[in-house]
Structure 1
Amino acid sequence: MHSRHLLATAAALLSSTSWAIEPPWGKAENLGEQRILEKTSVCTDGKGHYVVLAPDEQKTTQLFYGDGKTFVQVAPPPWGLAGDSFLDPRFFNKTANENFRGIDYRVFSEVELDKEKKTCSVRCGEKTIAFTVMEAEPAAKLLTGAKYEPNPQKYVPHALLRDTDGNYYFVERGFRSEDEKKFRVHVGPKGSLKLQEMKDIISDSEGQIFSTKKGELRLVVDRAQAPIWISGNKKKLELRVVPVEQNLPLIYNELGVYSGARLGTPCDDQ
């Protein structure tokens, strides 16, 4: 539930219809905007990668990540986590708590900034990368000269099913709030799932039914009964539900659907 809450929250916060977004300090033209800019920190690994930690009323910190010319907004974590943490299931921290107040900390990474000691690092799973805190003046120049974009994710996991032959049936939904009723279906063995030319013909509180244009293939995802894959000869194949929240590393690392995709996090280039 908390993973779904995270994705829904991220989509709601990043639902701008225009591609460019306004950073928290705007154009730094008035005193309020300038104060926000002054409280914003920038860390770099010296290899053209930058992490921005801006003040945020709800999460304490809002993260941006980019190359210094363009920054994307990092999707905020769910309630209970500060804004310097972010979901990135590609990196797994097996030593973290798997269920603390309903949150699986093993799939979250973070940016660690100590302003007093002027130290900064990015932890991706169990891997920690040293960053350097930029001085205020060059950091402000960098921030005011850059452009800002929403998180690059287009789709996120919605449902995962499998049959007894080892094939997976993976359903995605749109990442942004205005696209959350848009679905895509992928089918195939681990590492080789193929996008199906299917559309949702029913989507309500009880589940979804996806079908090809002529109806020769159908996927029925029902909350009250086992999901079913129906082929052209009307043969019904009962599927097993694989919980999304407990299998995010599998989804992002092994299915192949998200291979090479950028999630808009400071771990994208690690």
Structure 2
Amino acid sequence: MNTRRLIAAAVALLSGTSWGIEPPWGKGEKLGELLILEQTTVCTDGKGHYVVVAPEEQKGKQLFYGDGKAFVQVAPPPFGASGTHFLEPRFFAKTANPNFRGIDWRVFSEVEVDAEKKTCAVRCGERSTPWTVMEPEQAQKLVTAAKYEKNPQQYEPYALLRDTKGNYYLVEKGFQPEDEKSFRVHVGPKGSLKRQEMKDIVSDSEGQIFSTKKGDLRLLVDRAQSPLWIEGAKKKVELKVVPITENLPMIYNELGVYAGARLGTPCDDQ
């Protein structure tokens, strides 16, 4: 281990740079933090995009993605997946296992890195693209000077419903833990869903009731009965529940709600 190089990196960390979140190596003051820097790998596609692969206690690795000046935290995968995997429903790997350890691997992509062989690739769905592993000194200089932010996603699919005319009703909830009680509702045909100015007036273990500010349109997502879309005092439309997990590629690629959205993954610019 090049201690002099690590100490120089620690000095850069203490030079006044601020972060939206603290990077894995913290302030670089302790030996453990310096060791994390030593074990961190940075890959680049040569087009101004970088992925940071840093050690992490629970999943072994954690990912950050950005332009070299700022990085966002890639959302960690569920239990049973390694830290180099990430949910990426926009890219579908049809040949992957649809149910291994409770995970549909068809909607997961990954960063394939071998630090010893100095190889790196970003796989988005079924397409794997070689990236270049940066030299350690250059990589540490890059990551210690950068800013770090939370994952940019604000909302994620919570419930999907459909009527007999082909209109979809997508309910989203806040992506970050502190926003998990924040909801949004979009309604319309595939490719043209429009956000409704609604508010959540009931949310409990039995479901949710969303209503417009005027109260003339309501969406009932009830666990005990079929979901309903209510317009005025008389019109009630019974809705069919469309499973979220089995339809993630359609939700992200066809409904239109997530068109152009950045999910904070290395596939955002692929």
Does TM, normalized by the shorter one, top 0.5? yes
Larger relative CO (CA 8 A, sep 6+): 1 or 2?
A: 1
Equivalent-residue separation in structure 1 for 2:76 and 2:231 (angstroms): 40
Q: What's the offset of the Cα at 1:33?
A: 1.3
- Residue of structure 1 in register with 2:54 after alignment: 54
What are the equivalent positions in structure 2 for 1:99-114 lying under 5 Å apart? 99-114=99-114
- Residue of structure 2 in register with 1:83 after alignment: 83
- Residue of structure 2 in register with 1:21 after alignment: 21
- Residue of structure 2 in register with 1:14 after alignment: none
Under a length normalisation based on structure 2, what TM-score does the superposition of the two structures give?
A: 0.92
Q: What's the offset of the Cα at 1:115?
A: 1.4
- Residue of structure 1 in register with 2:176 after alignment: 176
Equivalent-residue separation in structure 2 for 1:91 and 1:158 (angstroms): 20
- Are the equivalent residues in 1 in contact too, given 2:40–2:53 (CA < 8 A)? yes
Which one-letter code corresponds to 2:206 in the other structure? Answer: E
Q: Residues 167 and 75 (structure 1 numbering): CA distance in 2 closer, same or farther, change over 3 Å?
A: same
Equivalent-residue separation in structure 2 for 1:82 and 1:211 (angstroms): 40
- Residue of structure 2 in register with 1:34 after alignment: 34
Gaps of 5+ in 2: 1-17
Q: What's the offset of the Cα at 1:38?
A: 0.5
- Residue of structure 2 in register with 1:92 after alignment: 92
- Residue of structure 2 in register with 1:3 after alignment: none
Q: Deviations over 1:74-118 (max 9, x none)?
A: 000000000000001000000000011211000000000011211
- Tell which deviates more after alignment, 169-178 or 225-234: 225-234
Equivalent-residue separation in structure 2 for 1:212 and 1:115 (angstroms): 54
- Residue of structure 2 in register with 1:150 after alignment: 150
Equivalent-residue separation in structure 2 for 1:30 and 1:209 (angstroms): 50
Aligned pair count reads: 253
- Are the equivalent residues in 1 in contact too, given 2:155–2:173 (CA < 8 A)? yes
- Residue of structure 1 in register with 2:263 after alignment: 263
- Tell which deviates more after alignment, 113-122 or 69-78: 113-122
Larger radius of gyration: 2
Under a length normalisation based on structure 1, what TM-score does the superposition of the two structures give?
A: 0.92
SS in 1 for 2:185: strand
- Are the equivalent residues in 1 in contact too, given 2:19–2:147 (CA < 8 A)? no
1:228 pairs with 2:228:
yes
Q: What's the offset of the Cα at 1:234?
A: 2.3
SS in 2 for 1:214: coil
Equivalent-residue separation in structure 2 for 1:220 and 1:82 (angstroms): 37
Equivalent-residue separation in structure 2 for 1:230 and 1:263 (angstroms): 33
Which one-letter code corresponds to 1:95 in the other structure? Answer: T
- Are the equivalent residues in 2 in contact too, given 1:191–1:255 (CA < 8 A)? yes
What are the equivalent positions in structure 2 for 1:59-74 lying under 5 Å apart? 59-74=59-74
Q: Deviations over 1:101-148 (max 9, x none)?
A: 211000000000011211100000011111000010000000110000
For the aligned residues, what is the CA RMSD? 1.1
Which one-letter code corresponds to 1:162 in the other structure? Answer: R
Equivalent-residue separation in structure 1 for 2:253 and 2:101 (angstroms): 26
Gaps of 5+ in 1: 1-17
- Are the equivalent residues in 2 in contact too, given 1:27–1:144 (CA < 8 A)? no
Which one-letter code corresponds to 1:253 in the other structure? Answer: N
Q: What's the offset of the Cα at 1:34?
A: 1.0
1:208 pairs with 2:215:
no
SS in 2 for 1:37: helix
After the TM superposition, list the runs of 4 or more consecutive aligned residues in structure 1 that deviate by more than 3 angstroms.
Answer: none
